[in-house]
Amino acid sequence: MVFIRPLKISESEIKPITQSVLSYTSQIMNGIFPIEKPVNKTSQQVLSSLNNILLEKSERLRTQLEREKEQFIKDFKATNKGKAPTGKAIRRFSKLKMGQGGTLDPMASGLLIIGLNNGTKNLQKYLTNSTKSYTFKAILGQETMSGDNQEDFKSTLSVNSYEHLLNLSNEERKNLEDKIKKAFIGKPLNQVPPVYSALKINGRRLYDYIRNGEEIPGDIEPRVVELLDIEFHEDNFKVIPQTPLTEEPTELYEKEEEKEENKENNKDGDNNNKNKKMKKQKFDGNKNLQRLGPNGFLPVTDELLNQVMKYKNQIKTYTIETNETGGILQTDEELNKITDIKDPFYEKMKYRQVPLVELNMTIKVSSGFYVRSIVRDICKILNTSGYMTSLTRVAQKQWDMKNGCYFKLEDFDNEANEPIWYDLLAKVMEDEEKGALVDVRSVLDKVDKKRKLEENTKEEEEGNKKIKI
């Protein structure tokens, strides 16, 4: 992967940026910039939070929006015989016009490309024909319907042994990584989107059909995509020790669920029945998240295995490939599917007496690429199964987190720092290509560190005063 040296901005440069920016305030409001999306938030929630924070914490943006509103009213009256615009027409000036250049799932983090005001017109090139890079982690041993660990644990399709991938030598590891590259890189791939995706059939998203227990009407058509590069991290095939369980797993999980339900019911307190019902539904829909282990792994129980043993050759290939190696393995036997509840390796998995094996890779892909689909098929190349536990978009087109050019929601949540982040934002949005080389983090991380130091010092001083009193 090519690394472009980012532009460093020293603290002495911040003031000149501020002064130059004031002369073209109207231009600052339009452009493209990246923000780091945190996990467990939808892309729309990030947009909404960003819009609110920017207007709440930036007097400059509020002032400009007010001026634009006044100008709009003036122009409207001039062309409508003095008649004032409707409240609906004016309400659009109550928030910034904002869009994003490619959504991320709630479980994913990383670069979210934001278009501000007229910058929204330039987002289309990020939505189509846009190369992206993702870093993902995956745990071996189970295939899930969603391809990750975010849905109900009962959506597991198979439990597979990964005993052959424990304690790999350096040579064995390299051979497997070469095999993965050979299978996917340098050729167009016909990739089938996962059923848990936002893709629409007959006007409805695929995951809506699945979550409602409905059949998908028709086949999901494959799409032509490309896997351009794979970077295997040093800790790829990482072996993670587990703390063995001392009691029957099912009983343990039932106790944990009961404990969580009691906690949730106690939180409800005096809320009305409607709120109680909503909270209960939300908790029930995320029971599996209460069960996740420290590395995001899903539990293995007899109930689960008895369910998946009924499935025969249900592990579908998501990337249709017919290379010289014979394609991706698809049969239960080839994938080491566990079909016996007395299987010795299954017993070890159930009681956490065997380490986890975690994949860690960064892939560069074309538009329309589903990472969860390729994760599943990489695991098939390894003669097992697996599910994704984390996903971070680290680059999109010219924007790359390595260059430090990205903002965080918390950067804007401090009015005292407005002169700094506002002018950095202006610098980034001035030119998309050059803006992608501005090392925003080198400035804002120092500012944040200084702020925290001042807060700690203030707390210590106040504590000392109380002691003296």
The answer to whether 325 and 196 have CB atoms below 8 angstroms apart is no
The answer to whether 64 and 26 have CB atoms below 8 angstroms apart is yes
Share of the chain above pLDDT 90, in %: 49
Q: Please indicate, yes or no, whether residues 109 and 22 belong to a single structural domain of this protein.
A: yes
The pLDDT of residue 200 = 84
Q: Please indicate, yes or no, whether residues 236 and 166 belong to a single structural domain of this protein.
A: yes
pLDDT at 269 over 60: no
Q: What's the DSSP call for residue 399?
A: E
Q: Please indicate, yes or no, whether residues 264 and 317 belong to a single structural domain of this protein.
A: yes
**Helices and strands counted in the chain (H then E):** 18, 16
Alpha helices (runs of H) in 165-248, residue ranges in sequence order: 170-184, 206-211
The answer to whether 126 and 112 have CB atoms below 8 angstroms apart is no
pLDDT at 340 over 90: yes
Q: Please indicate, yes or no, whether residues 108 and 162 belong to a single structural domain of this protein.
A: no
Summarize the confidence of residues 274-286 as an average pLDDT: 37
Residues 6+ apart with CB under 8 A from 184: 227, 230, 319, 321, 374, 377, 378
Q: Please indicate, yes or no, whether residues 384 and 418 belong to a single structural domain of this protein.
A: no
Would residue 201 count as lying in a domain?
yes
Question: Dihedrals φ, ψ of 129, to 5°?
Answer: 50, 45
Listed residues 366, 395, 424: the one ending a domain: 395
pLDDT at 294 over 80: no
Q: Please indicate, yes or no, whether residues 248 and 150 belong to a single structural domain of this protein.
A: yes
d(CA 469, CA 467): 5
Long-range contacts of 115-124 (CB under 8 A, 24+ apart): 115/31, 115/32, 116/29, 116/30, 116/31, 116/32, 116/33, 116/429, 117/29, 117/30, 118/29, 118/30, 118/31, 119/30, 119/31, 119/32, 119/429, 122/32, 122/432, 123/32, 123/99
Q: Please indicate, yes or no, whether residues 60 and 103 belong to a single structural domain of this protein.
A: yes
Would residue 424 count as lying in a domain?
yes
User: For residue range 83-94, what is the model confidence (pLDDT) as tens digits?
Assistant: 999 988 888 888
Q: Please indicate, yes or no, whether residues 142 and 267 belong to a single structural domain of this protein.
A: yes
Would residue 6 count as lying in a domain?
no
Between 164-168, 213-217, 231-235, the lowest mean confidence (pLDDT) is in 213-217
Token reading at 410:
């918390």
The average confidence (pLDDT) of the chain is: 83
Q: Please indicate, yes or no, whether residues 360 and 403 belong to a single structural domain of this protein.
A: no
Question: Dihedrals φ, ψ of 409, to 5°?
Answer: -55, -40
The pLDDT of residue 265 = 67
DSSP string, 405-461: --B-HHHHS-GGGHHHHHHHHHHHHH-HHHHTTB-HHHHHHHHHHHHHHHHHHHHHH
What number of CA atoms fall less than 13 Å from residue 332's CA on the CB side?
A: 14
Q: Give the length of the chain.
A: 469
Would residue 3 count as lying in a domain?
no
Task: Please count the structural domains in the chain.
Answer: 2
User: For residue range 175-194, what is the model confidence (pLDDT) as tens digits?
Assistant: 999 999 999 998 888 888 88
pLDDT band of residue 350 (cuts 50, 70, 90) is very high
Would residue 415 count as lying in a domain?
yes
Share of the chain above pLDDT 70, in %: 82
Listed residues 395, 419, 451: the one ending a domain: 395
The pLDDT of residue 19 = 39
For position 385, which CATH number holds?
A: 3.30.2350
Q: Please indicate, yes or no, whether residues 89 and 45 belong to a single structural domain of this protein.
A: yes
Q: What is the 3-state secondary structure (H, E, C) of 322-365?
A: CCCCCCCCCCCCCCCECCCCCCHHHHHHHCCCCCEEEEEEEEEE
The pLDDT of residue 322 = 44
Domain extent for 389: 134-395
Summarize the confidence of residues 384-392 as an average pLDDT: 95
Would residue 74 count as lying in a domain?
yes
- Tell me the CA distances in angstroms from 467 to 137, 160, 461, 463, 464, one per residue in order: 49, 61, 10, 6, 5
Q: Please indicate, yes or no, whether residues 170 and 113 belong to a single structural domain of this protein.
A: no
The pLDDT of residue 23 = 34
Q: Please indicate, yes or no, whether residues 118 and 175 belong to a single structural domain of this protein.
A: no
The answer to whether 389 and 148 have CB atoms below 8 angstroms apart is yes
Listed residues 348, 378, 395: the one ending a domain: 395
Q: To which residue do tokens 């472009």 refer?
A: 4
Question: Dihedrals φ, ψ of 200, to 5°?
Answer: -105, 140
Bigger pLDDT: 382 vs 334: 382
pLDDT at 411 over 80: yes
Highest mean pLDDT among 61-75, 97-111, 262-276: 97-111
d(CA 332, CA 311): 10
Bigger pLDDT: 75 vs 468: 75
